[in-house]
A and B are shown apart, each in its own frame.
Chain A
Amino acid sequence: MLLNIKDLTVAINGKEIIKGLNLQVNKGEVHAIMGPNGSGKSTLAAAITGRDGYEVTKGEIWYKGQNIVGLEADERANMGIFLSFQYPVEIPGVSMTNFMRTALNAQREYRGQPNIPAGEFLKLMEEKKKMVDIHAKLTKRSVNEGFSGGEKKKNEIFQMALLEPTLAILDETDSGLDIDALRTVAKGVNELRSSENGFVVITHYQRLLEYIVPDYVHVLSDGKIVKSGTKNLALDLEEKGYEWLKEEAAV
Protein backbone atom coordinates (compact mmCIF):
# COMPACT_ATOMS: atom_id res chain seq x y z
CA MET A 1 0.00 0.00 0.00
CA LEU A 2 1.28 3.47 -0.92
CA LEU A 3 -0.70 5.62 1.48
CA ASN A 4 -2.60 4.50 4.53
CA ILE A 5 -4.27 7.15 6.66
CA LYS A 6 -5.60 5.82 9.93
CA ASP A 7 -8.10 7.60 12.14
CA LEU A 8 -6.54 10.99 11.40
CA THR A 9 -7.46 14.09 13.37
CA VAL A 10 -5.99 17.44 12.34
CA ALA A 11 -6.38 20.76 14.12
CA ILE A 12 -5.52 24.31 13.15
CA ASN A 13 -4.96 26.64 16.11
CA GLY A 14 -6.64 24.06 18.31
CA LYS A 15 -9.73 23.75 16.13
CA GLU A 16 -10.36 20.29 14.72
CA ILE A 17 -10.87 20.28 10.97
CA ILE A 18 -10.23 16.61 10.10
CA LYS A 19 -12.05 14.39 12.55
CA GLY A 20 -11.07 10.75 12.32
CA LEU A 21 -10.36 10.15 8.64
CA ASN A 22 -9.35 6.87 7.00
CA LEU A 23 -8.02 6.51 3.47
CA GLN A 24 -6.02 3.88 1.61
CA VAL A 25 -4.34 4.45 -1.73
CA ASN A 26 -2.54 1.68 -3.58
CA LYS A 27 0.02 2.11 -6.32
CA GLY A 28 -1.61 2.59 -9.70
CA GLU A 29 -4.78 4.11 -8.25
CA VAL A 30 -6.41 7.49 -8.64
CA HIS A 31 -8.63 8.61 -5.79
CA ALA A 32 -10.88 11.63 -6.08
CA ILE A 33 -11.87 13.53 -2.96
CA MET A 34 -14.93 15.68 -3.28
CA GLY A 35 -16.86 17.69 -0.79
CA PRO A 36 -18.37 21.05 -0.03
CA ASN A 37 -16.37 24.11 0.98
CA GLY A 38 -14.95 23.84 4.46
CA SER A 39 -15.20 20.07 4.59
CA GLY A 40 -11.41 19.77 5.13
CA LYS A 41 -10.12 18.86 1.65
CA SER A 42 -7.21 21.28 1.59
CA THR A 43 -6.47 20.58 5.25
CA LEU A 44 -6.06 16.93 4.37
CA ALA A 45 -3.56 17.86 1.64
CA ALA A 46 -1.65 20.09 4.05
CA ALA A 47 -1.53 17.36 6.70
CA ILE A 48 -0.19 14.75 4.28
CA THR A 49 2.49 17.13 2.97
CA GLY A 50 3.48 18.29 6.45
CA ARG A 51 2.65 21.95 6.42
CA ASP A 52 3.47 23.85 9.64
CA GLY A 53 0.46 24.82 11.68
CA TYR A 54 -1.56 21.75 10.75
CA GLU A 55 -1.34 19.72 13.89
CA VAL A 56 -2.00 15.99 13.79
CA THR A 57 -3.65 15.44 17.16
CA LYS A 58 -4.52 11.80 16.58
CA GLY A 59 -3.96 9.01 14.10
CA GLU A 60 -1.24 8.04 11.64
CA ILE A 61 -0.22 8.68 8.06
CA TRP A 62 1.65 5.69 6.64
CA TYR A 63 3.49 6.26 3.40
CA LYS A 64 5.69 3.59 1.82
CA GLY A 65 5.65 1.65 5.07
CA GLN A 66 6.61 4.55 7.34
CA ASN A 67 4.52 6.75 9.60
CA ILE A 68 5.42 10.21 8.28
CA VAL A 69 3.66 12.23 10.98
CA GLY A 70 6.34 14.48 12.47
CA LEU A 71 8.62 14.52 9.42
CA GLU A 72 9.49 17.90 7.88
CA ALA A 73 7.70 18.97 4.73
CA ASP A 74 10.87 18.94 2.64
CA GLU A 75 11.69 15.41 3.75
CA ARG A 76 8.24 14.18 2.78
CA ALA A 77 8.64 15.89 -0.60
CA ASN A 78 11.97 14.18 -1.08
CA MET A 79 10.33 10.86 -0.27
CA GLY A 80 8.18 11.39 -3.35
CA ILE A 81 5.08 13.23 -2.13
CA PHE A 82 4.04 16.07 -4.40
CA LEU A 83 1.35 18.69 -3.97
CA SER A 84 -0.07 20.61 -6.89
CA PHE A 85 -1.11 23.82 -5.15
CA GLN A 86 -4.52 25.41 -5.39
CA TYR A 87 -2.88 28.84 -5.20
CA PRO A 88 0.74 28.58 -6.43
CA VAL A 89 2.82 31.31 -4.84
CA GLU A 90 5.07 33.79 -6.66
CA ILE A 91 8.80 33.94 -5.93
CA PRO A 92 10.15 37.10 -7.59
CA GLY A 93 13.62 36.99 -9.10
CA VAL A 94 13.95 33.20 -8.92
CA SER A 95 13.73 31.70 -12.39
CA MET A 96 11.70 28.55 -12.91
CA THR A 97 14.85 26.91 -14.23
CA ASN A 98 16.85 27.73 -11.11
CA PHE A 99 13.97 26.74 -8.86
CA MET A 100 13.46 23.38 -10.48
CA ARG A 101 17.14 22.58 -10.62
CA THR A 102 17.38 23.35 -6.89
CA ALA A 103 14.37 21.16 -6.19
CA LEU A 104 15.55 18.29 -8.33
CA ASN A 105 19.02 18.38 -6.82
CA ALA A 106 17.60 18.48 -3.30
CA GLN A 107 15.71 15.32 -4.14
CA ARG A 108 18.77 13.68 -5.65
CA GLU A 109 20.90 14.64 -2.65
CA TYR A 110 18.29 13.06 -0.36
CA ARG A 111 18.55 9.87 -2.35
CA GLY A 112 22.33 9.93 -2.33
CA GLN A 113 22.63 10.82 -6.01
CA PRO A 114 24.98 13.47 -7.45
CA ASN A 115 23.64 16.76 -8.85
CA ILE A 116 22.15 16.54 -12.30
CA PRO A 117 24.53 17.82 -15.00
CA ALA A 118 23.34 21.11 -16.53
CA GLY A 119 22.97 19.74 -20.04
CA GLU A 120 20.96 16.77 -18.90
CA PHE A 121 18.71 19.01 -16.84
CA LEU A 122 17.93 21.32 -19.75
CA LYS A 123 17.09 18.35 -21.95
CA LEU A 124 14.79 16.97 -19.30
CA MET A 125 13.05 20.32 -18.98
CA GLU A 126 12.45 20.59 -22.71
CA GLU A 127 10.94 17.14 -22.72
CA LYS A 128 8.57 17.87 -19.83
CA LYS A 129 7.60 21.27 -21.17
CA LYS A 130 6.24 19.64 -24.29
CA MET A 131 4.26 17.25 -22.18
CA VAL A 132 2.18 19.97 -20.57
CA ASP A 133 2.34 22.27 -23.54
CA ILE A 134 3.82 25.22 -21.68
CA HIS A 135 5.42 28.13 -23.40
CA ALA A 136 9.16 27.82 -23.89
CA LYS A 137 9.77 31.20 -22.26
CA LEU A 138 7.91 30.28 -19.11
CA THR A 139 10.90 28.59 -17.52
CA LYS A 140 12.99 31.74 -17.93
CA ARG A 141 10.48 33.77 -15.94
CA SER A 142 10.37 34.00 -12.17
CA VAL A 143 8.41 31.31 -10.35
CA ASN A 144 4.71 31.98 -11.04
CA GLU A 145 5.33 35.70 -11.42
CA GLY A 146 2.95 37.25 -13.90
CA PHE A 147 1.61 33.82 -14.87
CA SER A 148 -2.07 33.60 -15.80
CA GLY A 149 -4.28 31.30 -13.74
CA GLY A 150 -4.02 28.61 -16.41
CA GLU A 151 -0.25 28.96 -16.69
CA LYS A 152 0.14 28.59 -12.94
CA LYS A 153 -1.77 25.31 -12.94
CA LYS A 154 0.07 23.98 -15.96
CA ASN A 155 3.28 24.97 -14.23
CA GLU A 156 2.33 22.83 -11.25
CA ILE A 157 1.84 19.83 -13.51
CA PHE A 158 5.12 20.63 -15.25
CA GLN A 159 6.91 20.52 -11.89
CA MET A 160 5.19 17.25 -11.10
CA ALA A 161 6.37 15.81 -14.40
CA LEU A 162 9.95 16.82 -13.59
CA LEU A 163 9.99 15.51 -10.04
CA GLU A 164 8.16 12.27 -10.85
CA PRO A 165 6.51 11.78 -7.46
CA THR A 166 5.19 8.47 -6.17
CA LEU A 167 2.22 10.14 -4.56
CA ALA A 168 0.73 13.24 -6.17
CA ILE A 169 -1.97 15.31 -4.55
CA LEU A 170 -3.81 17.68 -6.85
CA ASP A 171 -5.58 20.36 -4.84
CA GLU A 172 -8.37 21.90 -6.93
CA THR A 173 -6.16 21.91 -9.98
CA ASP A 174 -9.26 22.54 -12.09
CA SER A 175 -10.30 25.77 -10.38
CA GLY A 176 -9.94 28.76 -12.64
CA LEU A 177 -9.11 26.70 -15.73
CA ASP A 178 -10.79 27.07 -19.09
CA ILE A 179 -11.66 23.90 -20.93
CA ASP A 180 -8.50 23.87 -23.09
CA ALA A 181 -6.19 24.30 -20.14
CA LEU A 182 -8.16 21.67 -18.26
CA ARG A 183 -7.61 19.20 -21.09
CA THR A 184 -3.90 19.96 -21.20
CA VAL A 185 -3.54 19.51 -17.46
CA ALA A 186 -5.48 16.25 -17.56
CA LYS A 187 -3.41 15.01 -20.45
CA GLY A 188 -0.26 15.66 -18.45
CA VAL A 189 -1.61 13.82 -15.44
CA ASN A 190 -2.76 10.87 -17.52
CA GLU A 191 0.65 10.54 -19.11
CA LEU A 192 2.23 10.41 -15.66
CA ARG A 193 -0.15 7.78 -14.34
CA SER A 194 1.56 4.45 -13.93
CA SER A 195 1.43 1.25 -11.94
CA GLU A 196 4.15 2.72 -9.72
CA ASN A 197 2.42 5.86 -8.46
CA GLY A 198 -0.84 7.01 -6.96
CA PHE A 199 -2.92 10.17 -7.21
CA VAL A 200 -5.24 11.96 -4.84
CA VAL A 201 -7.34 14.43 -6.81
CA ILE A 202 -9.19 17.01 -4.75
CA THR A 203 -11.97 18.74 -6.60
CA HIS A 204 -15.32 20.45 -6.25
CA TYR A 205 -16.65 19.43 -9.60
CA GLN A 206 -17.22 16.32 -11.56
CA ARG A 207 -15.91 18.07 -14.69
CA LEU A 208 -12.24 17.31 -14.02
CA LEU A 209 -13.05 13.66 -13.45
CA GLU A 210 -14.30 13.33 -17.02
CA TYR A 211 -10.70 13.84 -18.05
CA ILE A 212 -8.87 12.29 -15.14
CA VAL A 213 -10.93 9.19 -14.53
CA PRO A 214 -10.66 8.08 -10.90
CA ASP A 215 -10.73 4.54 -9.60
CA TYR A 216 -12.45 5.67 -6.41
CA VAL A 217 -14.43 8.69 -5.33
CA HIS A 218 -14.71 9.75 -1.70
CA VAL A 219 -16.95 12.37 -0.26
CA LEU A 220 -15.54 14.43 2.56
CA SER A 221 -17.94 16.18 4.87
CA ASP A 222 -17.17 17.84 8.16
CA GLY A 223 -13.75 16.27 8.41
CA LYS A 224 -14.75 12.69 7.65
CA ILE A 225 -15.21 10.54 4.59
CA VAL A 226 -18.94 9.99 4.56
CA LYS A 227 -19.24 7.99 1.40
CA SER A 228 -16.94 6.17 -1.00
CA GLY A 229 -17.69 4.69 -4.39
CA THR A 230 -16.64 4.52 -7.99
CA LYS A 231 -16.67 7.29 -10.56
CA ASN A 232 -20.44 7.05 -10.71
CA LEU A 233 -20.61 8.59 -7.27
CA ALA A 234 -19.21 11.76 -8.78
CA LEU A 235 -22.04 11.82 -11.28
CA ASP A 236 -24.61 11.40 -8.53
CA LEU A 237 -23.07 14.29 -6.66
CA GLU A 238 -23.14 16.46 -9.73
CA GLU A 239 -26.82 15.78 -10.08
CA LYS A 240 -28.01 15.87 -6.50
CA GLY A 241 -25.45 18.08 -4.75
CA TYR A 242 -24.03 17.29 -1.32
CA GLU A 243 -27.18 17.77 0.71
CA TRP A 244 -28.55 14.26 0.20
CA LEU A 245 -25.39 12.78 1.63
CA LYS A 246 -25.68 14.85 4.74
CA GLU A 247 -29.24 13.65 5.12
CA GLU A 248 -28.14 10.09 4.52
CA ALA A 249 -25.35 10.45 7.05
CA ALA A 250 -27.79 11.81 9.60
CA VAL A 251 -30.09 8.81 9.29
Chain B
Amino acid sequence: MKDSLSQSSTARDRILIRLKRGVPENPAPLPSVPQDHEHFTSYLDVKDRDSLLGRFQHRFEALQGEFFLVDSPQEAGKALSNLVSGIEPNRILSQDDSLIEKVLKSSSLASEKVKSTDDLLAQDSLSFEAYEIGVTTAFKLVARTGSIVMTCRQAAGRRLSVLPPLHIVIAKASQLIPSWEEGIESLRDESDFSYASFITGPSRTADIEKILVLGAHGPKRLALILIKE
Protein backbone atom coordinates (compact mmCIF):
# COMPACT_ATOMS: atom_id res chain seq x y z
CA MET B 1 0.00 0.00 0.00
CA LYS B 2 3.05 2.26 0.17
CA ASP B 3 2.70 3.48 -3.41
CA SER B 4 -0.95 4.17 -3.13
CA LEU B 5 -0.45 5.93 0.18
CA SER B 6 1.89 8.45 -1.37
CA GLN B 7 -0.48 8.74 -4.32
CA SER B 8 -3.32 9.34 -1.93
CA SER B 9 -1.45 12.02 -0.06
CA THR B 10 -0.54 13.93 -3.25
CA ALA B 11 -4.14 13.63 -4.40
CA ARG B 12 -5.30 14.78 -0.97
CA ASP B 13 -3.22 17.94 -1.19
CA ARG B 14 -4.39 18.72 -4.68
CA ILE B 15 -8.07 18.13 -3.88
CA LEU B 16 -7.88 20.28 -0.75
CA ILE B 17 -6.11 23.09 -2.62
CA ARG B 18 -8.80 23.11 -5.27
CA LEU B 19 -11.55 23.07 -2.65
CA LYS B 20 -9.95 25.90 -0.69
CA ARG B 21 -10.10 28.03 -3.84
CA GLY B 22 -13.88 27.58 -3.85
CA VAL B 23 -14.44 28.44 -0.20
CA PRO B 24 -16.01 31.88 0.39
CA GLU B 25 -14.07 34.45 2.40
CA ASN B 26 -16.95 35.16 4.75
CA PRO B 27 -19.09 32.06 4.93
CA ALA B 28 -22.57 32.26 6.39
CA PRO B 29 -22.68 30.88 9.94
CA LEU B 30 -23.41 27.19 10.36
CA PRO B 31 -27.10 26.92 11.38
CA SER B 32 -27.65 25.55 14.86
CA VAL B 33 -28.36 21.87 15.37
CA PRO B 34 -31.85 21.03 14.04
CA GLN B 35 -34.39 20.39 16.79
CA ASP B 36 -37.07 17.72 16.55
CA HIS B 37 -39.85 19.95 17.83
CA GLU B 38 -39.06 22.43 15.07
CA HIS B 39 -39.50 19.88 12.28
CA PHE B 40 -41.69 16.93 13.16
CA THR B 41 -45.42 16.69 13.77
CA SER B 42 -44.91 13.57 15.82
CA TYR B 43 -42.50 15.23 18.22
CA LEU B 44 -43.17 13.96 21.70
CA ASP B 45 -42.34 16.35 24.48
CA VAL B 46 -44.14 14.23 27.02
CA LYS B 47 -41.85 12.34 29.28
CA ASP B 48 -44.40 9.99 30.74
CA ARG B 49 -43.72 6.44 29.83
CA ASP B 50 -47.25 5.50 28.78
CA SER B 51 -47.47 7.87 25.86
CA LEU B 52 -43.96 6.97 24.74
CA LEU B 53 -44.91 3.35 24.92
CA GLY B 54 -48.16 3.90 23.03
CA ARG B 55 -46.44 5.74 20.22
CA PHE B 56 -43.64 3.18 20.00
CA GLN B 57 -46.01 0.24 19.84
CA HIS B 58 -48.18 1.97 17.24
CA ARG B 59 -45.25 2.64 14.88
CA PHE B 60 -43.50 -0.67 15.53
CA GLU B 61 -46.61 -2.70 14.78
CA ALA B 62 -47.47 -0.58 11.73
CA LEU B 63 -44.19 -1.82 10.26
CA GLN B 64 -45.05 -5.44 11.06
CA GLY B 65 -42.83 -5.64 14.13
CA GLU B 66 -44.08 -8.24 16.64
CA PHE B 67 -44.61 -6.52 19.95
CA PHE B 68 -44.95 -8.22 23.36
CA LEU B 69 -45.47 -6.12 26.46
CA VAL B 70 -44.79 -8.04 29.68
CA ASP B 71 -44.55 -7.21 33.38
CA SER B 72 -41.45 -9.13 34.37
CA PRO B 73 -38.51 -11.16 33.08
CA GLN B 74 -40.50 -14.28 34.07
CA GLU B 75 -43.31 -13.27 31.76
CA ALA B 76 -40.78 -12.37 29.10
CA GLY B 77 -39.65 -15.97 29.34
CA LYS B 78 -43.15 -17.10 28.38
CA ALA B 79 -43.26 -14.74 25.41
CA LEU B 80 -39.88 -16.03 24.33
CA SER B 81 -41.06 -19.64 24.63
CA ASN B 82 -43.88 -18.91 22.21
CA LEU B 83 -41.55 -17.23 19.75
CA VAL B 84 -39.03 -20.05 19.70
CA SER B 85 -41.45 -22.96 19.76
CA GLY B 86 -40.69 -25.41 17.00
CA ILE B 87 -37.10 -24.23 16.61
CA GLU B 88 -34.23 -26.50 17.61
CA PRO B 89 -32.51 -24.87 20.62
CA ASN B 90 -29.13 -25.37 18.97
CA ARG B 91 -30.25 -23.03 16.20
CA ILE B 92 -30.74 -20.15 18.60
CA LEU B 93 -27.89 -17.78 19.32
CA SER B 94 -28.02 -15.18 22.04
CA GLN B 95 -26.02 -12.25 23.25
CA ASP B 96 -24.18 -12.86 26.50
CA ASP B 97 -26.17 -10.69 28.87
CA SER B 98 -27.60 -10.97 32.38
CA LEU B 99 -31.13 -9.86 31.44
CA ILE B 100 -31.32 -12.31 28.57
CA GLU B 101 -30.03 -15.04 30.84
CA LYS B 102 -32.79 -14.29 33.34
CA VAL B 103 -35.42 -14.44 30.61
CA LEU B 104 -34.00 -17.66 29.19
CA LYS B 105 -34.23 -19.26 32.62
CA SER B 106 -37.97 -18.62 32.73
CA SER B 107 -38.51 -19.93 29.24
CA SER B 108 -38.93 -23.31 27.66
CA LEU B 109 -35.21 -23.14 26.93
CA ALA B 110 -34.31 -23.19 30.64
CA SER B 111 -32.91 -26.69 30.57
CA GLU B 112 -31.18 -26.21 27.22
CA LYS B 113 -27.79 -24.81 26.61
CA VAL B 114 -28.47 -21.89 24.30
CA LYS B 115 -25.26 -20.78 22.68
CA SER B 116 -24.07 -17.26 23.22
CA THR B 117 -21.74 -15.22 21.07
CA ASP B 118 -19.06 -15.69 23.74
CA ASP B 119 -19.21 -19.48 23.32
CA LEU B 120 -18.67 -19.02 19.63
CA LEU B 121 -15.75 -16.72 20.26
CA ALA B 122 -14.16 -19.25 22.59
CA GLN B 123 -14.40 -21.87 19.89
CA ASP B 124 -12.98 -19.34 17.49
CA SER B 125 -15.57 -20.17 14.91
CA LEU B 126 -18.22 -17.59 14.27
CA SER B 127 -20.36 -19.53 11.89
CA PHE B 128 -23.62 -17.71 12.12
CA GLU B 129 -25.29 -19.21 9.11
CA ALA B 130 -26.61 -22.17 11.02
CA TYR B 131 -28.71 -20.02 13.34
CA GLU B 132 -32.40 -19.34 12.87
CA ILE B 133 -32.83 -16.89 15.70
CA GLY B 134 -30.67 -14.13 17.16
CA VAL B 135 -31.52 -12.80 20.63
CA THR B 136 -30.13 -9.42 21.69
CA THR B 137 -30.77 -6.50 23.99
CA ALA B 138 -31.23 -2.91 22.79
CA PHE B 139 -29.46 0.35 23.49
CA LYS B 140 -32.49 2.64 23.24
CA LEU B 141 -36.01 2.53 21.82
CA VAL B 142 -37.15 5.58 19.86
CA ALA B 143 -40.88 6.19 20.30
CA ARG B 144 -41.43 8.62 17.42
CA THR B 145 -40.65 6.10 14.69
CA GLY B 146 -40.77 2.77 16.58
CA SER B 147 -37.04 2.27 16.08
CA ILE B 148 -34.63 0.10 18.01
CA VAL B 149 -31.20 1.66 18.49
CA MET B 150 -28.38 -0.81 18.77
CA THR B 151 -24.65 -0.55 18.87
CA CYS B 152 -22.35 -3.48 18.18
CA ARG B 153 -22.10 -3.76 21.97
CA GLN B 154 -25.77 -4.47 22.68
CA ALA B 155 -26.01 -6.76 19.69
CA ALA B 156 -22.74 -8.40 20.66
CA GLY B 157 -21.28 -7.59 17.29
CA ARG B 158 -22.60 -6.78 13.88
CA ARG B 159 -23.97 -10.08 12.61
CA LEU B 160 -26.19 -11.38 15.39
CA SER B 161 -28.89 -8.77 14.73
CA VAL B 162 -28.92 -9.06 10.95
CA LEU B 163 -27.99 -12.56 9.79
CA PRO B 164 -30.56 -14.85 11.50
CA PRO B 165 -34.05 -14.74 9.89
CA LEU B 166 -35.71 -13.95 13.23
CA HIS B 167 -34.30 -11.21 15.45
CA ILE B 168 -35.68 -11.10 18.98
CA VAL B 169 -34.92 -8.04 21.10
CA ILE B 170 -35.40 -8.05 24.85
CA ALA B 171 -35.57 -4.57 26.36
CA LYS B 172 -36.96 -2.58 29.26
CA ALA B 173 -39.56 0.18 29.09
CA SER B 174 -37.08 2.49 30.82
CA GLN B 175 -35.06 2.48 27.61
CA LEU B 176 -37.78 4.34 25.71
CA ILE B 177 -36.82 7.80 24.51
CA PRO B 178 -38.99 10.20 22.51
CA SER B 179 -36.82 11.14 19.54
CA TRP B 180 -33.91 10.46 17.21
CA GLU B 181 -32.42 13.61 18.63
CA GLU B 182 -32.05 11.91 22.00
CA GLY B 183 -31.00 8.67 20.36
CA ILE B 184 -28.14 10.40 18.56
CA GLU B 185 -27.25 12.35 21.68
CA SER B 186 -26.93 9.17 23.73
CA LEU B 187 -24.80 7.59 21.02
CA ARG B 188 -22.48 10.56 21.29
CA ASP B 189 -22.07 9.86 25.00
CA GLU B 190 -21.46 6.18 24.33
CA SER B 191 -18.49 6.74 22.10
CA ASP B 192 -16.92 3.31 22.31
CA PHE B 193 -18.39 1.39 19.41
CA SER B 194 -17.48 0.92 15.76
CA TYR B 195 -21.01 0.30 14.54
CA ALA B 196 -24.50 1.44 15.49
CA SER B 197 -27.83 1.05 13.79
CA PHE B 198 -31.34 2.41 14.03
CA ILE B 199 -33.55 -0.55 13.18
CA THR B 200 -37.11 0.27 12.13
CA GLY B 201 -39.08 -2.87 11.36
CA PRO B 202 -38.02 -6.10 9.70
CA SER B 203 -35.96 -6.04 6.50
CA ARG B 204 -38.02 -5.01 3.48
CA THR B 205 -37.87 -4.17 -0.21
CA ALA B 206 -40.15 -2.68 -2.83
CA ASP B 207 -37.75 -2.95 -5.74
CA ILE B 208 -40.18 -5.03 -7.80
CA GLU B 209 -43.07 -2.85 -9.00
CA LYS B 210 -43.13 -1.09 -5.61
CA ILE B 211 -44.69 -4.19 -4.04
CA LEU B 212 -43.69 -4.43 -0.38
CA VAL B 213 -41.96 -7.69 0.55
CA LEU B 214 -40.58 -8.41 4.03
CA GLY B 215 -37.28 -10.19 4.60
CA ALA B 216 -35.17 -9.07 1.66
CA HIS B 217 -31.75 -9.83 3.15
CA GLY B 218 -31.97 -9.01 6.84
CA PRO B 219 -34.38 -10.61 9.34
CA LYS B 220 -37.77 -11.54 7.95
CA ARG B 221 -39.25 -11.12 11.42
CA LEU B 222 -38.40 -8.65 14.15
CA ALA B 223 -39.85 -9.23 17.62
CA LEU B 224 -39.56 -7.05 20.69
CA ILE B 225 -40.27 -8.30 24.19
CA LEU B 226 -40.61 -5.18 26.31
CA ILE B 227 -40.45 -5.56 30.07
CA LYS B 228 -42.45 -2.92 31.94
CA GLU B 229 -40.77 -3.06 35.35
A and B bind: no
Q: Which residues of A contact B (CB under 8 A)?
A: none
Q: Which residues of B contact A (CB under 8 A)?
A: none
